[in-house]
Structure 1
Amino acid sequence: FRWSYVVLPLVVLLLLVGLSAYFYHLLPAEVAVHFENGEPDGWLSPLMTMVLALLPQILLAAVALILAFVMTRLASRFWPPEGTKINLKTIVALMGNMIALPQIVFGFAIADIFVYNAYHIHLPPLWIFALMFMVVGGIVIGVVFVRAIRREWGGRNR
């Protein structure tokens, strides 16, 4: 196990903890957390808003840690290091850090809730942000897997 396998989920978690700490004192007694056509139609207390903001992030970071830990343990037992040219460290790092993508999208939604309640403005639409991150994530995954396949095929053709 290496911390580089889960660095992105942990960084995103720490950033959202900092964002939550900054905005907590700016939140009103009733925090708007659900919107219909840009207007609030669902409210929570500031404490429940913090639970809504942080609990999913903590759970996703824990999933990344568990996934990376289990994969490295399984790989050390069952993966023949000389049997393939696929770099296991790269794959485990990709799997562990990929969890940062939904964390970032969810963090953007929480940031919109905080900004709206503190300053009464909305961030750009979530779907634009989510689409941008899905495209970037798809490109990164594609590059990693194409490189792994080329390495594997290059080793077999020699």
Structure 2
Amino acid sequence: MFYGFLVGNSKKVPQSAILGVIISTLVYVMIFLSCLGIFSTYGLQDIQYPTIELGKEVAIPGGFFERFESIFFTIWIMTVFNTTSMSFGVSVLAFSSIIKKLNRQKWILILSPFIHLVALFPEDLNEVDLYSQLVSIIGVVFTIIVTPLLFMISKLKRSRQ
């Protein structure tokens, strides 16, 4: 969704973005229903990370994968790394488009230590949860404020033309 302008055939970008959202939504729903079916609603209340517990509980018959959780955690780490890298890339792209004096390499050098310092703040999982909730609330408030503001700016620009 963020790199659509880099694609040569821009007519397929909306379809590809919608397909990507549909696929990831279906995967999330399947994982949710699997967790719900295996652990029940009462069991899910006590488990902090049900997807990880689900990866530990899965047993593939035939003994082909004795330790499925090692494969699960490898895929999990790759997914987290890719998500983090994409978010960092989008942030660099956004900052470099807002302030054009600094190129992408300089933004990478500026943002990397900041991200590292922010990652060092939480002491334990409870603080990670607290910071996650705080960032979610800030994101919702930001969306509620910025969306009408951008809408009004676009209306003002259209009325001037």
Give your verdict on TM over 0.5.
Answer: no
Report the TM range for the smaller structure's normalisation. Answer: 0.3 to 0.5
Q: Relative contact order (C-alpha < 8 Å, sep 6+): which is higher? A: 1
Which structure dedicates a bigger proportion of its chain to helix? 2
Which structure dedicates a bigger proportion of its chain to strand? 1
Q: How does the TM-score come out when normalised to structure 2?
A: 0.34
